[in-house]
Structure 1
Amino acid sequence: PSCPLRGGYVNLPDVDISWRMVLNAITTFSTCIQFVQLLTINDKLAAFTYTIGRMFEDVYRNLLVISIIMVSFAATLSVMREDSFQTFDVSIVGLLRTIVGLHSPSTTYVSSPGAFVIILFVVIIDIGFLNILIAQLALAYESLTKETAGFSRMNRAFTTVEIESLMPLATRRKIFLELQFDQPLEFDNGDSGPSGGIQVLEPASVRADPRYVPDRIMRFTGEA
């Protein structure tokens, strides 16, 4: 096979890629990428991974729109039978190379309407959507990093729930019973609070801190 490049065609070597090889590669990548979950042990790394995951949502939406626009322009160039864009698949590869700047196809013998279509595509994608994507990522990162501690705990809780879903039901039930979520949380002597949580005692030194604000909720002993 040959691929149209700037200055002519370059012969490509025949590579026999089977579906089994592709599936093995995807499986290997998916397995190794799971080690990212280990980063949730550290609060800062957990917040960073959560932020990256949220930012990928913007990347996905932007790339989806770019793909639709690329298909539209590729179909247009293939219908026009322009040089280096004779078929739809070749047009897709050529436009993709144009975006990333990797051996763009030769446009020496492209007609004026074809050149206008290519220039319009570059303006829309390179100048428009890619800059919009950069601005979206910058704004998203700025807003997400303001609450890194909360996001790190959310990411850790999400990972914990995912791991817990892989455990047998008997083991999950045993852990739930050991945590005693059905027992009410005692606010004070004789003051039984709601259930469904884990009680953490507050150190007495907190009340001596000058920034301490007394509890303004009036509590009455008895069952909740």
Structure 2
Amino acid sequence: MVYYFTSNVVNPPATIYVGKDKYENEELIKHGWDQDVCAHVYLRLREGESWENIPEELLQDCAQLTKANSIEGNKKDNITVIYTPWSNLRKDGSMATGQVSFHNPKQVKRIHVPTRQNPIVNRLNKTKVEKFPDLREEKEEYLRQKRRAERKAREERKLQEKREREERERLKWQKEHAYDDLFSEENIAKSSNQDRDPNFLDDFM
């Protein structure tokens, strides 16, 4: 089971989710998305959003949910919640269920939580929805859509490059042939004195 929460402190609202227990969290670790941010609870960012500039109010929502859903953390004040991109989570067979480390410690940030803020926790709990998602299938569908979007972007980029190349070639041809008409046989004949009336100079004078 996965619990989903909606944070309305940003527009459009953000989705935060967490496993029912450490075993569910193992599945979340395994089937996370590239734009997920993990702080025990998960924040699903939208395409183009960066984990490095998450709005402060949204961070506070995540931190308060993390504290509220931690058996030990919920009893204490002045705790530190760490968060990192899902792609930075490292898991191997020697680790206990639910335990993770990080590929790059420099990609880990911290937020201080002085106390539990019940208004925040209560607001989020009102949006709580329990689901039994097929995390593997959701991840596969996400990857399929991502591949389609990347393929479409590549095709559009190739088409744009072709258009730009054709335009460059057109302009190059125009530049190279700009004076062709000036040196046509007809224009040369018109500018020649060969076929003019012998008395044209008299007319000129």
Which bracket does the TM-score occupy, shorter chain normalised? Answer: under 0.3
TM-score calculated relative to the size of structure 1 = 0.25
TM-score by length of 2: 0.27
Q: Whose strand fraction is larger, Structure 1's or Structure 2's?
A: 2
Q: Which has the higher helix share?
A: 1
